[in-house]
Structures are given as structure tokens and as C-alpha cells.
Chain A
Amino acid sequence: DQQVKQNSPSLSVQEGRISILNCDYTNSMFDYFLWYKKYPAEGPTFLISISSIKDKNEDGRFTVFLNKSAKHLSLHIVPSQPGDSAVYFCAARGETSGSRLTFGEGTQLTVNP
């Protein structure tokens, strides 16, 4: 039962353009969502999060949008930089699951100079 899905395994964009990474979930009990970035041979690092009571959270070049009715969230990176090339994981937490995170499969973002 894949409760968090990232349907695009990979995304390629030009430097300076916008990157949009998408994530869908099925569990309506999820109340907190996070994005992690992972470079090769390193562990995931926290990027940005959003509570289910909000529909947008912004941090510098990174903005996360949450559409609860569609059970969909997206991460926007503007402008994209070559150093943003990494695997991005969407994760969600449920009210009844303590602090357990459920991760999506990840999307490999490549930003071309």
C-alpha cells in the first residue's frame, strides 16, 4: 500500500528555470509533510515542510504547495541551480502514527547548466 507516491522518477530542467516536483498521497490522516534532498552516498537532508493547516510555505528559492482536497503537494525551486541536482523525497506524517514518516519513491532532479 503506497500511501505516498512520486510518479515522476526523474526531471530535467535548465539552470535558471523553475523545477516543479510533485507528490500525491492517499491517507487523509496525514497532517504534516516534508521534503528531503539526497545527494549520492549521503543521507537525506531536510529541505522544507508544511503543516496541513497551511497551503503554502516558502523558504528562499523553495516553496511547497499543499492541495488537501486533491491530496497533492508540490515543491517549486526557482531559480534552479546545478547544485540542486539530487534525489528529492516527499514524506508525510500521520496524526496517529507518532513521528513515523512515510516516504515517496523519490524524484531525481537534474539541473543542466
Chain B
Amino acid sequence: EAGVAQSPRYKIIEKRQSVAFWCNPISGHATLYWYQQILGQGPKLLIQFQNNGVVDDSQLPKDRFSAERLKGVDSTLKIQPAKLEDSAVYLCASSFYRTVYNEQFFGPGTRLTVL
């Protein structure tokens, strides 16, 4: 079974530039999550989708971050414009059901460096 795919793996941009990350979840997984992991901290949930609808985006900085999940499969996360403090690893995860009793499967992440 293929795992969660993410691209790119690494990205370096200047502050105020825009950047987009892509995620392809495990086939059949209806729930998709985007996390931000700053160095030395645990992952923090940014947004959760159930199929193509948003379930939880309470921790998403909506003035600069946006995400979509068209057709309930792939998802993109965008930052526009980027700030220095956005330097982090962005992790995508998916799960079969919405409840966490079915554990979340994580992709390898995209490491973003904002200069």
C-alpha cells in the first residue's frame, strides 16, 4: 500500500514570496490533515478536511495560509506571503475515518526555509 505522498521535499524562498505544497493521501482515506512542525516542537494541526469539506481550521493563520482539497483526494497548502516564522516542516497526514481511533498516517513532510 502506497503511503502519503508530499512534494516538494524541500523549499527555500525569500520572505514575502508565495509557496505551495502538495499532498496525495492514502487511497480511500477520507480525512486529510495539514500540520506545521517548527524545529524543537511537536506538530500543530493547521487544517483538517473530511472529503473535500473543512472540518477544523481553527489554528490556520487565514490571513496568509490557505488550503483546498478538490474532489476529496489531493490537497494543496499555500502560504502567501511567507514570513520568516513560517520556516518549518509541513506534514500531511490522512486517516480512514474522522475519529482518531483510526490512527493518522503521515507523509515525509516538506521542509520550508524562509530567508
Contacts and interface: CB of A to CB of B under 8 A. Distances in A.
A105 B109 contact: no
A91 interface: yes
A105 B40 CA distance: 6
A60 interface: no
A104 B100 contact: no
B31 A99 contact: yes
A32 B101 contact: yes
A7 to B, nearest CB: 13
Interface residues of B, number: 25
B14 interface: no
Contacts of B41: 105-106
B31 A49 contact: no
Contacts of B101: 32
Interface in A92-106: 93, 97-101, 103-106
B84 interface: no
Contacts of A53: none
Interface string B15-45: 0000000000000000100000000111111
Contacts of A93: 100
B108 A43 contact: yes
Contacts of B40: 9, 105
A42 B45 CA distance: 18
Contact of A101 (B4, B45, B98): B45
A18 B37 CA distance: 29
Given A32-B100, A41-B108, A98 B42 contact: no
Interface of A: 4, 9, 32, 34, 36, 41-46, 49, 89, 91, 93, 97-101, 103-106
Given A43-B109, A103-B42, 10 more contacts: A9-B40, A34-B100, A44-B43, A44-B91, A44-B106, A46-B103, A98-B48, A101-B104, A103-B44, A105-B40
6 contacts: A9-B40, A46-B104, A99-B31, A100-B45, A100-B48, A103-B42
Interface of B: 4, 31, 40-45, 48, 55-56, 91, 93, 95, 98-101, 103-109
